[in-house]
């Protein structure tokens, strides 16, 4: 603990600055002698004491530095620059104020129809009348006719309110206050008049070294690939380029797995995917995986056939391979746009960009710049001087210097804001990738972020999200299992996604074709990947991101893959008979899946002596060596380690009495249903089948 004065001296700030910050952060101190707890000090250490006005001034001043052309113009120029500074500051303040006055919109995750009346807890008759735009007396009279004595200020039950609103051709719904903590779940619904066209966000994916970074390098006219190990992309990067007076945002990932892991975390950051394929190599195994991941993202796909300048380039072969994997080119009557390029020579780049702009125009991507910023983390790192540095993509709203922000489970205040060229800026808007500092820990790629009004609110939400994340981690459950397919269908699912892994191509195709023929109440099975070979980590990643079940046919996962699937909540089902897989899938979709049982050994007993009776059969005088032997239990007769019979216990006798069970260490007489071929030394293994949920 230390006093406010001591803390101020320690961080080289004035007492008034510390007190002001304490007030913002709801830390209860009034003067320089009041004590700060260790927790208070930690909060203050993570707070930003920077004066945002001064930072804005500094940036604006830097932007407006010009070379004086003469003494005669100097005074006028200085005045002009000063005026520009003041105007820029004023505009910044006005814009920020305009944005924050619409903050109520942020709390709404769905539009409310004019026919819907929201019922709030303890709503009064008068409040309901106001919602219906009628007099309170009118509602009191209607309630009286229903046999309910009421006054204007009396609370009205939901049931009675529901009866009243029906008379006005409206629907009553309970108003559930949204938890701001889970802002990922917000369905942000904007007024049409607030929406403006935003740049398309494009992700480039492809086989290693097929030219992804070279393509971006050519588009940006910068040599990014030259500074990377072996010309292979090492980190996720985001850039924005201007094409024909329109902007396009490009995201370069180190691989499709990283892209899909971001989707698995709920981050849908891309509008269009470019799959780059080398004309000389053609479609490689990794390209097939890329195609599967891209199709699972359910966004428009453009194929860029690269290296067409090479002598062994074979465009027709590539087109055939693409068609075999479900990407039929437009020239062949399909719906996949194909561009032929040489990223190295710059050939065909304009056609590729035109295709992007064409899709963007058709899809008409829009968002609202006049709200708190919402977006996704593209990459993050820890700098020993600046702390966490985070690259984010603005997906809605405008992010401004000084905004309190929550990023995943981290929180803070935007201390610096840089564009993709590394320039300091004061605000970033729709589809713009920017680098920020000022948060208290390094988030993960794919984490969502949202800006808030106050630091106190951001800190509170960030801390609550951290607790929730920890609880969620401790109770990680399967994204989807065969057992809950029926529930998903009842909830409105239109397709069930499946990944198939088999030992040979013939089996793979047979399982795929059989499953895709299943249809239950209009719901079909969609195979998002079918391939030969062992179940791999990339299958688990895709399954997690797509809510898919993995079906293995004559293949078995390694222990590490089993553990990873369990950790990620992805179900793996293994089969060696095709009709069994089809039967189980169909039964699951109908809600009639046979329950899965797990065997539990309840006890063992050794036969010491046999007694044969003509009416009863063979009674085995036995000694219970472990657990409990129960009447009516399932039982195996084991001789020399081999099971020779599997049936049920008919009766158990202890001395002369028939009993329900016998425990370890006791002797008893046991008879088996329909089986008498017992020998001394045989072992009874009693077990029961427990349904696994």
pLDDT tens digit sequence for 298-319: 889 999 999 898 888 898 999 9
Per-residue pLDDT, averaged over 486-491, amounts to: 65
Least confident residue range of 167-171, 229-233, 368-372, 632-636: 229-233
What pLDDT score was predicted for residue 608?
Answer: 95
Return mean pLDDT, the chain: 80
Query: Which range, of 198-207, 563-572, 580-589, 622-631, averages the lowest pLDDT?
Result: 580-589
Give 3-state DSSP helix, strand, coil % of the chain, rounded to 5: 35, 30, 35
Q: What is the pLDDT of residue 227?
A: 44
- Structure-block tokens of residue 603: 């006890």
Q: Give me the long-range contacts of 492-495 (CB less than 8 A, separation at least 24).
A: 493/523, 494/522, 494/523, 494/524, 495/523, 495/524, 495/525, 495/526
Whether 578 and 511 have beta carbons less than 8 Å apart is answered as yes
Confidence (pLDDT) at 95: 47
- State mean pLDDT over 660-664: 93
Partners of 189 in the β-ladder: none
Query: Cα–Cα–Cα angle for 440, 446, 451, nearest 5°?
Result: 50
Beta bridge pairs of residue 649? 672
Sign, CA torsion 309/310/313/319: negative
- The yes-or-no verdict on residue 560 having pLDDT over 80 is yes
Q: Are 230 and 145 in contact (CB under 8 A)?
A: no
Q: What is the pLDDT of residue 103?
A: 44
Whether the model pTM is above 0.75: no
DSSP summary character for residue 193: G
Model confidence pLDDT, tens digit, residues 81-139? 445 555 554 554 454 444 444 444 443 334 445 677 888 878 899 999 998 989 988 99
Element spanning 88, H or E: helix 71-100
Contact between 172 and 162 under an 8 Å Cβ cutoff? The reply is yes
More confident residue, 228 or 578: 578
What angle, 0 to 180 degrees and rounded to 10, lies between the N-to-C axes of helices 349-363 and 212-220? 90
Contacts of 174 (CB under 8 A, 6+ apart): 118, 119, 158
- Give pairs for 250-255: CB < 8 Å, separation 24+: 250/202, 250/203, 250/204, 250/216, 250/219, 251/201, 251/202, 251/203, 251/204, 251/378, 251/393, 251/433, 252/204, 252/212, 252/213, 252/216, 253/203, 253/204, 253/205, 255/205, 255/208
Q: What is the mean pLDDT of residues 47-66?
A: 54
Higher pLDDT, 493 or 239: 239
- What is the maximum span of the chain, computed from C-alpha positions, in angstroms? 131
pLDDT band at 430 (very low <50, low <70, confident <90, very high): very high
Sign of CA dihedral 184, 190, 194, 195: positive
pLDDT at residue 439, as a whole number: 93
Residue 326 tokens read as 């479900």
% of the chain beyond a pLDDT of 90: 27
> Could you report the per-residue pLDDT of 277-293, keeping only the tens digit for each?
999 888 888 788 888 88
Question: Alpha carbon of 632 to those of 157, 358, 511, 613: distances in Å?
Answer: 55, 72, 40, 21
- Mean pLDDT for 610-616 is 84
Contacts 24+ apart (CB under 8 A), 67-71: none
Q: Which has the closest alpha carbon to 568: 588, 546, 590?
A: 546
User: Of 265 and 13, which is predicted with more confidence?
Assistant: 13
Q: Exposed, middle or buried by CB within 10 Å (0-12, 13-18, 19+), for 294?
A: buried
Q: Which of 204-218, 388-402, 504-518, 678-692 is least confident?
A: 204-218
Q: Hey, what are 378's tokens?
A: 């593209």
Closest CA to 529 of 504, 499, 570: 499
Residues in the chain: 693
Please state, in angstroms and rounded to a whole number, the distance separating the CA atoms of residues 321 and 157: 65
**CA 366/CA 195 separation, integer angstroms:** 6
Cα separation of 479 and 122, whole Å? 38
Euclidean distance between CA atoms 662 and 631, whole angstroms: 9
534 token code pair = 């062992």
pLDDT at position 622 is: 95
**Token code pair at residue 472:** 């969620």
**What per-residue confidence (pLDDT) applies to 627?**
93
- Chain-centre distance of CA 603, in angstroms? 46
Residue 533 — very low, low, confident or very high, per pLDDT cuts 50/70/90? confident
SS3 628: strand
Range 315-328 average pLDDT: 90
Report pLDDT for 110.
Answer: 40
């Amino acid at each position: 603990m230390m006093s406010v004065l001591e803390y101020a001296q320690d961080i080289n700030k004035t007492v008034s600055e510390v007190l002001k910050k304490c007030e913002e952060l709801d830390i209860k101190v009034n003067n320089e002698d009041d004590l700060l707890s260790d927790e208070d000090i930690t909060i203050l250490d993570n707070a930003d004491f920077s004066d945002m006005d001064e930072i804005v001034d500094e940036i604006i001043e830097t932007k407006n530095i010009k070379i004086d052309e003469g003494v005669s113009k100097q005074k006028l120029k200085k005045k002009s620059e000063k005026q520009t500074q003041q105007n820029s500051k004023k505009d910044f303040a006005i814009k920020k104020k305009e944005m924050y006055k619409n903050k109520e919109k942020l709390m709404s995750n769905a539009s409310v129809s004019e026919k819907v009346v929201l019922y709030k807890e303890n709503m009064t008759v008068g409040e309901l009348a106001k919602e219906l735009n009628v007099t309170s007396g009118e509602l009191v009279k209607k309630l009286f006719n229903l046999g309910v004595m009421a006054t204007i200020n009396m609370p009205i039950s939901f049931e009675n309110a529901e009866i009243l609103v029906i008379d006005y051709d409206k629907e009553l719904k309970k108003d559930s206050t949204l938890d701001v903590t889970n802002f990922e779940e917000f369905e942000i619904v904007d007024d049409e008049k607030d929406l403006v066209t935003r740049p398309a966000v494009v992700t480039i994916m492809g086989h290693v070294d097929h030219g992804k970074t070279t393509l971006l390098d050519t588009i940006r006219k910068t040599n990014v690939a030259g500074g990377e190990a072996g010309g292979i992309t090492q980190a996720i990067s985001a850039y924005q380029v201007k094409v024909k007076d329109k902007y396009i945002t490009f995201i370069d990932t180190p691989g499709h797995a990283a892209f899909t892991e971001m989707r698995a975390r709920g981050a849908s950051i891309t509008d269009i995917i470019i799959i780059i394929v080398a004309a000389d190599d053609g479609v490689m195994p990794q390209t097939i995986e890329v195609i599967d991941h891209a199709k699972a993202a359910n966004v428009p796909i453009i194929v860029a056939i690269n290296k067409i300048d090479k002598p062994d380039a074979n465009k027709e072969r590539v087109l055939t391979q693409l068609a075999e994997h479900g990407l039929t080119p437009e020239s062949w009557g399909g719906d996949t746009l194909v561009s032929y390029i040489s990223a190295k020579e710059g050939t065909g780049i304009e056609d590729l960009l035109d295709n992007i702009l064409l899709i963007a125009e058709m899809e008409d991507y829009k968002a609202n710049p006049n709200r708190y910023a919402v977006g996704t983390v593209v990459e993050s790192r820890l700098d020993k001087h600046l702390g966490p540095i985070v690259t984010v993509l603005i997906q809605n709203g405008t992010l401004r210097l000084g905004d309190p922000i929550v990023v995943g489970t981290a929180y803070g205040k935007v201390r610096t804001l840089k564009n993709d060229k590394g320039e300091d800026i004061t605000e970033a808007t729709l589809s713009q990738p920017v680098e920020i500092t000022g948060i208290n820990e390094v988030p993960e790629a794919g984490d969502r972020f949202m800006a808030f009004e106050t630091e106190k609110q951001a800190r509170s939400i960030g801390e609550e999200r951290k607790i929730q994340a920890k609880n969620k981690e401790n109770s990680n459950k399967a994204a989807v299992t065969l057992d809950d397919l029926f529930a998903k269908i009842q909830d409105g699912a239109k397709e069930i996604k499946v990944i198939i892994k088999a030992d040979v191509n013939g089996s793979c195709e047979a399982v795929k074709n059989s499953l895709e023929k299943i249809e239950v109440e209009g719901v079909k099975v969609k195979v998002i990947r079918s391939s030969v070979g062992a179940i791999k980590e990339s299958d688990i990643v895709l399954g997690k991101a797509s809510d898919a079940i993995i079906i293995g046919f004559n293949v078995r996962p390694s222990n590490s893959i089993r553990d990873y699937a369990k950790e990620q909540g992805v179900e793996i089902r293994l089969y060696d008979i095709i009709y069994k897989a089809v039967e189980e899938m169909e039964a699951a979709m109908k809600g009639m899946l046979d329950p899965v049982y797990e065997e539990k050994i309840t006890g063992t007993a050794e036969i010491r002596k046999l007694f044969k009776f003509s009416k009863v059969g063979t009674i085995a005088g036995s000694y219970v060596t472990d657990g409990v032997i129960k009447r009516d239990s399932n039982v195996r007769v084991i001789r020399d380690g081999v099971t020779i019979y599997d049936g049920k216990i008919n009766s158990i006798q202890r001395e002369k009495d028939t009993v329900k069970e016998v425990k370890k260490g006791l002797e008893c007489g046991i008879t088996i249903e329909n089986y008498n071929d017992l020998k001394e030394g045989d072992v009874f293994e009693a077990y029961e089948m427990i349904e696994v949920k």
